Structure 1
């Protein structure tokens, strides 16, 4: 039995995506370093390509928002940029958690670490492909990251909320909307049939948000998807003559419904039933407590 436990422990350590109860000091140092490096790489790339297009090449090259043309899922550049600024600031909380003396936070941050680092690298690759108009390859990386973040969400559902929002819920919500955003650009969805299809597919945002509200009572995902739906609505309203298309109306309706449902779930005044993305003890736990008086049940 001891040999089996030892083999299981060894296998767990060889798998960087496995969930563990403790990490060595060497492993934590590695996570701290790679987290910082990939964060800076993604941040600098995003800032640079927001204002500057790549140099001349074989394919069309634009800034990030220069490729945000009038498709059925075009977003508002200002609103989505603000969204990512908030996410990147929250990720600093995650990075700080890796230095916490509270094992609840440091273990949760380390367990998410590999998914987070992979997400940063995939988004770095996505940005380089997107601004160079390699839309199908960009969509492929978005699909891969969608599965990466989905696995992180379901495998680490008890992650403390301050870490969960910035590293999992927030990026996953955007990644889901980006599946439509990038896909519409890849198929050159600029005509009337594409807009009709878009009018149907946009309701997937509502269904996706309701899934997390019902199954996990995760109002963070609800609010995030609501905001991104509003960003899509504003983008649609400003990119086309509103009287000739309905996408902006649907987007605003979806955003409003998700906001109301999320508000109900967050206040507890809702008939929706389901699990919770974090336990009540995790929710009440103070952020990055590092004193010796952490309750024992908070460490379990």
Structure 2
């Protein structure tokens, strides 16, 4: 029996009825797990035996440990609320009567389930002050979602946004956010390094906009850059970090419009809305150059 039979992340041409039901069950359960956990720890402090000062809600950590990558809680919360709502649409696709839609949704199911489990682990570690382990989990998820992106970058937007581009953009920014908390320094040297490192967000977003013409990544990263800019402005108004963040936001947003607007005026893009992905599309880049 080939090794791919045992690899849940292997690409498959078809899925058995049994595997589809496994995907449905695990997708719903893992999504509920991370959704309930994130909502709970947005407003509550973990209850366990340990040092009280190391236990906070998610955004209490963000406020208590000020870094050059502290984020605005409102914008980030709205970002995740949008993601959770669109992920309901993805889950619903798994229960569609259209076999092609179900196959496309199941094709990314293993990565989505793994992402949910890693997000759950990140939250549980983050609110308890285990930032090194939280960073390791985030790095693992970054590779998980990157693998998903490059192997399944032709799926429809109803799947791509909630499963791939939205979580991947957040995970990239979370590497900075949690990493800065992990280092725990707000000294001048750390600020200078942060002033340089922040431009990685622009480079990362521009890569997807230029190489894949993926305006969903551009828009997601511009929103998260805005969250960083607002967070830094109210943290330290007389600093370069918020200026850089808003500059990156503006550049990414303009580049996103330059990629997205041609489609509005009839220029055909290979993103097919909510239509299923055919075999020809599977071999094509995310967005056509034509």
The TM-score with structure 1 as length reference comes to: 0.87
Q: 1:153 to 1:75 in 2, by over 3 A?
A: same
Describe the SS at the equivalent of 2:68.
coil
Deviation (angstroms), 1:70? 1.7
Instruction: Tell me the distance in 1 between the aligned counterparts of 2:279 and 2:112.
Output: 28
What residue is the counterpart of 1:49 in the other structure? 41
Instruction: Tell me the distance in 2 between the aligned counterparts of 1:43 and 1:142.
Output: 17
Deviation (angstroms), 1:283? 1.0
Instruction: Tell me the distance in 1 between the aligned counterparts of 2:19 and 2:175.
Output: 33
What residue is the counterpart of 1:283 in the other structure? 272
Q: 1:253 to 1:56 in 2, by over 3 A?
A: same
Deviation (angstroms), 1:295? 9.6
Q: 1:285 to 1:137 in 2, by over 3 A?
A: closer
Instruction: Tell me the distance in 2 between the aligned counterparts of 1:182 and 1:39.
Output: 22
Alignment of 1:78-227 (within 5 A): 78-227=74-223
Describe the SS at the equivalent of 1:189.
coil
What count of residue pairs does the alignment treat as equivalent?
A: 275
Does structure 2 retain, via aligned residues, the 8 Å contact 1:70–1:236?
no
What residue is the counterpart of 1:31 in the other structure? 23
Residue among 42, 60, 79 paired with 1:66:
60
Q: 1:82 to 1:295 in 2, by over 3 A?
A: closer
1:259 aligns with 2:253: yes
Instruction: Tell me the distance in 2 between the aligned counterparts of 1:285 and 1:88.
Output: 18
Moved over 6 A (4+): 294-300
Deviation (angstroms), 1:264? 0.5
What residue is the counterpart of 2:286 in the other structure? none
Larger Rg, first or second structure (1 or 2): 1
Instruction: Tell me the distance in 1 between the aligned counterparts of 2:168 and 2:183.
Output: 23
Does structure 2 retain, via aligned residues, the 8 Å contact 1:152–1:168?
yes
What residue is the counterpart of 2:11 in the other structure? 19
Deviation (angstroms), 1:299? 10
Instruction: Tell me the distance in 2 between the aligned counterparts of 1:299 and 1:209.
Output: 23
More displaced stretch, 189-198 vs 224-233:
189-198
Instruction: Tell me the distance in 2 between the aligned counterparts of 1:299 and 1:138.
Output: 34
Instruction: Tell me the distance in 2 between the aligned counterparts of 1:114 and 1:86.
Output: 22
Alignment RMSD: 2.2
Does structure 2 retain, via aligned residues, the 8 Å contact 1:72–1:189?
no
Structure 1: gaps (5+ residues) = 1-6, 270-277, 289-293
Deviation (angstroms), 1:199? 0.3
1:246 aligns with 2:235: no
Structure 2: gaps (5+ residues) = 284-290
Instruction: Tell me the distance in 2 between the aligned counterparts of 1:295 and 1:152.
Output: 18
Instruction: Tell me the distance in 1 between the aligned counterparts of 2:205 and 2:279.
Output: 34
More displaced stretch, 13-22 vs 53-62:
53-62
Q: 1:143 to 1:299 in 2, by over 3 A?
A: closer
Does structure 1 retain, via aligned residues, the 8 Å contact 2:154–2:281?
no
Does structure 1 retain, via aligned residues, the 8 Å contact 2:122–2:137?
yes
Does structure 2 retain, via aligned residues, the 8 Å contact 1:36–1:95?
yes
Q: 1:114 to 1:297 in 2, by over 3 A?
A: closer
Instruction: Tell me the distance in 1 between the aligned counterparts of 2:154 and 2:164.
Output: 12
Q: 1:113 to 1:279 in 2, by over 3 A?
A: farther
